[in-house]
Structure 1
Amino acid sequence: MNVRYAGRSTLRDMTAYRGSESSNAEGDPPVAFDLSSNELFLPPLPTVLSVIEEGFTRLARYPDPTARALTGEIAGHLRVEADEVAVGPGSAGVLQQILLALCGEGDDVIYAWPGFDAYPLLVAMCGASSIHIPLTASGHHDLEAIRARVSARTKVVILCSPHNPTGTMIDDARLRSFLRSLPDHVVTVLDEAYVEFDRGGDPPGRSEVIREHGNTVLLRTFSKAYGLAGLRVGYAAGSRQIIATVRKAALPFGVTHLAERAAISSLHSAAELRDRLHAVSAAREELTAGLAALGLPVLPSRANFVWLPLTCAAEPLARAAAAAGVKVRACPGQGVRISVGGAAAHRLLLTALDRTDRANWS
């Protein structure tokens, strides 16, 4: 049957997000440990788990469409006003709101590459075009190259720090200098999905950056450090003018009551979070040391994953890990990202890589 329809031209060559992936499908190696999605290898904080259990009785009711209670809690945490905060289903959902609100046909969005693999699809959804700027050899943003590509078509620049997938940070002085250099029509989204792993806690935010650079939007999530990836809740903070527009692009009832209560409880569990982050940091250092002991190149990371710039050897390493039952994320021709897991996952991975003949990795 011939079906004619008018779809977005920017989506024509895109595929659904990880639509071709499968887990434990017939013919695939069984997955004992999934270290491919930067999920926390520990459950949500103990206090938060009890709040989640209490919320099951409300599943038949619609949540507050404004998530007013959570919005207020986040505003207090970040030291901003409530009308400077927007919430949504994970930071990816909030980023989609931002791009839909600010971009359209003929606009450009600039970001470093390799990067979060949902960025290209989210940009295409709003009809805009992606401009990829290669990372430096050390896995950092090339801010000078990004600035050189800014034009009258540029609507949004996305900076991810700690960067996914390399785990590197943007120096504060370089960040501020970069923000000062941008023209007024460009909005910078500072994606801090992994910032808690760098700071050893949930920092109160960059309200001073938002104040000094009115076209900067802070983006965060409860999916990573807080272990609420399955509940889907994230947020953005910025000028009330930008946030008012972003809220208009929100999915109705996008943050469930359960997610809202769990996120509020998470913000009140700072001591539990610090203990959790200490365990992740220790596991990250052990994984880094183990990979380095095998002679593999591994970058120092400030997140809950590590990056191996392996270029042509990326896919052979991922296949060797998968054969042993450990799923990792390969970026073909660029490298491999391995999420921090538990001791058993690390042992299985390192043993498999140690026994692998790397002579033909090319």
Structure 2
Amino acid sequence: MSTSRTGPSPALRASELDRFSAYRAGEGGRRDAADEILDLSNNEVMISPLPAVAEALRRIGTDVNLYPDPTAHTLRLRLAEHFGAGAEETLVGPGSAGVLQQLLLVLCGAGDEVLYAWPGFDAYPLLIAVSGARGVPVPLTASGDHDLPRLLEKVNSRTRAVILCSPHNPTGSRITRPALRRFLDGLPSHVVAVLDQAYTEFDAEEDQRDLTPIRDYGNVVLLRTFSKAHGLAGLRVGYAFASAEIVHRARKTVIPFSITRTGERAAVASLQQQEALTARIATIRRLRGALEDDLGAEGLVPTPSAGNFVWLPLGPSSERFAASALEAGVRVRAYADMGVRISVGTEQAHRRVLLAARRHRSG
């Protein structure tokens, strides 16, 4: 005999979270192999892990009954050595989104504000709300760039952080070093600039080992990930460089054991394969350039991209293009009334995108 309890639901505290849906709600089952849909909607790298990384994964034992190192000490030291940072300036966590959550939890709280460009990474407003702060979106310029003067105008006494994404997701635009310096020079010292560099390896103009921003400014964080260029999205490993004070506080907010032993070892192995990684990145840049050229030949001109994706500013017809792509057997990401983001994929997937482009143009 079963029993059930009836009565009022538990009283839930009103929260900034109430304004948002869960991350990608309703997209479960998108990888159903039966539908033969090729997915270019998530900015994943379609190339298999580097051979040395695959070998490292094969060598990992079955001791999953044991907890991983809660500090991911080896990875943190390898990152510091590779980039020329101090270990006390290096923060690791479960993907760049996990590291960003750690940072926001120590940078802001109830009554504070965090600025970010929009459209942008869907998780920004959610992670800001989890911290208790209020997110303030600032529209991109017509060309898909950060409106840096407008962001500075929005800064006030309640502002605790500004998130800048370069190369920007979803438009692929980049913030030049001179523009970034001008912005940071005008940013009050009580505001931390979090520079989300998840796609930085694909930007041919950037030197990933240049940590000048955190050397010259105490209120800057460089946020990065192994999910994109390294192709380890499924293992959830991210990292950041910042002042020792920020890192010391942010480490206290990490979920215990959130970087698995598998993730740490794979990340360390990938970090040691710079020559192979450079070749992989060159391949993705070549495929990106070819996709941009082919779309342009079909009359759909992407904005210049420094990421592993291209952006078509299609405005009101964005969702129609995404529907055409799905009919052609490829999934892309539409931003209603703004544009379409297409991840760089295989040549087969790109052929389907071009078929969708032709249908879109003729429709």
Question: TM bucket by the smaller chain?
Answer: over 0.9
Structure 2 partner of 1:64: 69
Give aligned-pair identity as a percent.
50
Corresponding position: 1:192 with 2:201: no
Secondary structure of 1:220's aligned partner: strand
Q: Which amino acid aligns with 1:55?
A: I
Distance in 2 (CA, whole Å) between partners of 1:253 and 1:96 is 16
Q: How far 1:330 sits from its partner (Å)?
A: 0.6
Q: Which amino acid aligns with 1:285?
A: G
Q: How far 1:358 sits from its partner (Å)?
A: 4.7
Structure 2 partner of 1:314: 318
Distance in 2 (CA, whole Å) between partners of 1:35 and 1:226 is 17
Structure 1 partner of 2:10: 4
Structure 1 partner of 2:56: 51
Equivalent residue in structure 1 for 2:290, among 286, 291, 294:
286
Structure 2 partner of 1:15: 21
Corresponding position: 1:325 with 2:320: no
The alpha-carbon distance between structure 1 residues 313 and 356, as it changes in their structure 2 partners (threshold 3 A), is: closer
Q: Which amino acid aligns with 2:71?
A: T
Structure 1 partner of 2:176: 171
Q: Contact between 2:225 and 2:239, CA under 8 Å: does it hold in 1?
A: yes
Distance in 2 (CA, whole Å) between partners of 1:92 and 1:40 is 17
Q: How far 1:205 sits from its partner (Å)?
A: 3.7
Corresponding position: 1:241 with 2:256: no
Q: Contact between 2:295 and 2:354, CA under 8 Å: does it hold in 1?
A: yes
Q: Which amino acid aligns with 1:42?
A: I
Structure 2 partner of 1:305: 309
Count the aligned residue pairs. Answer: 357
Distance in 1 (CA, whole Å) between partners of 2:39 and 2:207 is 25
Q: Contact between 1:70 and 1:264, CA under 8 Å: does it hold in 2?
A: yes
Distance in 2 (CA, whole Å) between partners of 1:160 and 1:201 is 14
Q: What does the per-residue CA deviation read over 1:65-115, in whole Å, with 9 as the maximum and x for residues that have no partner?
A: 011110001111221110111100000000011111111111100011111
What 5-or-longer segments of structure 1 have no aligned partner? none
Q: Which amino acid aligns with 2:72?
A: A
Structure 2 partner of 1:334: 338
The alpha-carbon distance between structure 1 residues 202 and 131, as it changes in their structure 2 partners (threshold 3 A), is: same
Q: How far 1:119 sits from its partner (Å)?
A: 0.5
Q: Contact between 1:71 and 1:86, CA under 8 Å: does it hold in 2?
A: yes
Distance in 1 (CA, whole Å) between partners of 2:180 and 2:255 is 31
Q: Contact between 1:201 and 1:270, CA under 8 Å: does it hold in 2?
A: no
Distance in 2 (CA, whole Å) between partners of 1:175 and 1:164 is 17
The alpha-carbon distance between structure 1 residues 127 and 70, as it changes in their structure 2 partners (threshold 3 A), is: same
Structure 1 partner of 2:136: 131
Distance in 1 (CA, whole Å) between partners of 2:14 and 2:207 is 39
Structure 1 partner of 2:91: 86
Q: How far 1:23 sits from its partner (Å)?
A: 3.3
Q: What does the per-residue CA deviation read over 1:305-346, in whole Å, with 9 as the maximum and x for residues that have no partner?
A: 000111101110011111222110111011100000000000
Secondary structure of 1:279's aligned partner: helix
Q: Contact between 1:110 and 1:130, CA under 8 Å: does it hold in 2?
A: yes
What CA RMSD, in Å, does the superposition of the two structures yield over aligned residues? 1.8
Q: TM (normalized to structure 1)?
A: 0.95
- Range 184-193 or range 344-353, more displaced: 344-353
Distance in 2 (CA, whole Å) between partners of 1:21 and 1:203 is 33
Q: How far 1:22 sits from its partner (Å)?
A: 3.3
Structure 1 partner of 2:3: none
The alpha-carbon distance between structure 1 residues 234 and 171, as it changes in their structure 2 partners (threshold 3 A), is: same
- Range 218-227 or range 78-87, more displaced: 78-87
The alpha-carbon distance between structure 1 residues 201 and 157, as it changes in their structure 2 partners (threshold 3 A), is: closer
Structure 2 partner of 1:104: 109
Q: How far 1:351 sits from its partner (Å)?
A: 1.5
What 5-or-longer segments of structure 2 have no aligned partner? 1-6
Structure 2 partner of 1:140: 145
Q: What does the per-residue CA deviation read over 1:269-305, in whole Å, with 9 as the maximum and x for residues that have no partner?
A: 0000011011101110111111111111311111100
